Chains A and B, each alone.
Chain A
Amino acid sequence: MNLDSKIPEGPIEQKWSKHKLSLPLVNPANKRKFKIIVVGTGLAGASAAATLSELGYQVEAFAFQDSPRRAHSIAAQGGINAAKNYQNDGDSVRRLAYDTVKGGDYRSREANVYRLAEVSVNIIDQCVAQGVPFAREYGGHLANRSFGGAQVSRTFYARGQTGQQLLLGAYQALEKQVNAGGVKMHSRHEMLDLVIIGGHARGIVTRDMVTGKIESWAADAVVLATGGYGNVFYLSTNAKGCNVTATWRAAKKGAGFANPCYTQIHPTCIPQAGDYQSKLTLMSESLRNDGRVWVPKKAGDTRAPGQIPEDERDYYLERKYPSFGNLAPRDISSRAAKQVCDEGRGVGPGGRGVYLDFADAIKRVGKKVISERYGNLFDMYTTITGEDPYTVPMRIYPAVHYTMGGLWVDYNLMSNVPGLHVIGEANFSDHGANRLGASALMQGLADGYFVLPYTIGAYLATAKQPKVTTDHPEFKKAVDDVRARITKLLNVKGKRTVDSFHRELGMLLWNKCGMARTEAGLKELLVEIPKLREEFWRNVNVPGSADSLNQALEKAGRVADFLEFAELLVMDALDRNESCGGHFREEHQYEDGEAKRNDAEYQHVSVWEWKGEGQAPVRHKEPLVFETFKPSIRSYK
């Protein structure tokens, strides 16, 4: 497997500008001769599809939802980071890059991160030009707030709906190009396979989710912007449709899967209320700007929160991390919450919860200001729980939220399969072992608006591949494979529902490969997951037909892929015999419970190569070199 990261030479500040100058270009008149497939039209996909079309390429875009505006990017609440330094508080590109590299526990590629910080400023300009209604101060200038892992205010926001507004900006740009004839949009189409010809990615196979029609599409390059795989845990803050299918299909066709064990558990979600639950709801990290996290000092204290006097409360984040306090990064806050609950000090039903208390903030700035800042989040909390956070502290608990792992890409965002580009959450490069808040939106838009449009041109200018059509035997073969798989799923006619398998898989992973992982637990999973997968193919019940709108069939295909992918995730967690960021191996911790990295042996990206059914995948390494930000113990104390 060729894992040349293609990081440009030179000082980190100049890498991207020099690289842009050195990239071969496609003449404007020749761009229209190239067709690019973009799968997924969330922030990364929509911004890429729109921009590529503006440049003159022909774009075919695909989404499984009924409209690009539904992609799960829409649910991001709190904000987007950018090194604008509008607050004059000492922010800079370098500081944002440093915070992100440190936040990722020195497991990301620093050249990519620096570039991300560099283009972050362009993103805000672009979005404002599109009419994204960011929050503003009375003077008419843009407002900022703080997010975890940072000591400056660099987060731009649109109430609690930042993801929605940024996605609508990208969606509108995309629809503008649809209107101009540059993008053909295929909604309710799910990608089920990748087609490789002559070693290059040349197309995809899709299923029309309304008619069931299997179709293939040929192009000069393929871009995957299909998001993360958090739903492998069944319960997560992801939308129900989020899945690993597109990236997993690509992995099975030869694309390396990087760091699958890096999953982010978000500290502030509404705790699970029952077994029927279908998803968990996030309460934005921005709430920790004003909310204070605490639990009773005494284990088993069942008094109502208002009855617990100040000196019997443990504001554990403020106590353990005085310099970052309630804004400690996500992995650290999540583990701290788990720790106090494990000690029996958790609150609410089942003792799996901690308080997020706004009483002090309301006393300080008044209910009106708090309502202006977080009104919609408070309303959402009330809708779900029936409790009023203005008078009773919120109860929160960590939940799976984001996946830092993804398909391996080089500096040009191209995977090891030439022509296959991967952007947004679907790739692995920028967040290392832990993503900081308000950085996912930044990365999705950076990749889509400002990085891929440059780098994909260089590929197209140099690849010199012959034109292909869907008559090519590789397309026929992929279509046959997809059909055979669907038929197989429908023909099992077993007794268990798809959801019951998915729930069981999720429970296994959450218990043994969630916030804390051990060698013994992971080894058990490597027995239990294949067993569950075997039962799935013997006993799943998928009713209905292949040629109609069949939601049970859609789910079955995705869960079948999760059942394969989960095993790889666990193998990676077992192989990475250290703790870093969100990957916490109980064997490797300092006395105070902080994650203990092992840079000597694990300062690398683990890239997994699929070797075929029944074969063990092979782990390759891309060493991580830190020229600028020297790895140190990550402390937020």
Chain B
Amino acid sequence: MMSDKLDIELIVNGEQIQQSVLVRTNLVDFLRDQVGLTGSHVGCEQGVCGACTVEVDGVMVRGCLMLAVQANGSTVTTIEGFAGNTTGKKLQNAFSEHNALQCGYCTPGMLASSIEYIDRGGSTDRDSIRQHLSGNYCRCTGYQAIVDAVASVIEITDAGINQSEGAST
């Protein structure tokens, strides 16, 4: 049987991508192998480890559980594009500062989930942060430094807001 291929068009990290893809190719494999963005990682192909988490049309999804053809017409952001998001940039700095990564393999998914948590108004409560990140597997850090990094971004952002509010009065 000839494998079905479809032409798809999507925006990835702000760039127009037009490619032909086999229908069975999943989104994260497409991004890595065809678009050349190897920053998102594959860890289980079952949606459990979270390493493939990317942003599609404003929400975080498992790249291994979406077909590339399903992202036709969509806007996708990967770790290579997270610096374009204010929260993303702050998180990247905080992750470096707090050593919230060691081997770096879970980092794309951790950042994706953390961005979602913060942008949806997540609090600095450590249990809340841990619960939200509970779908992202990390073997190296034991999670504590990641929680520290996320909490620190929320604190800095809150402090910044308080400061600017204070300054305006």
Physical interaction between A and B? no
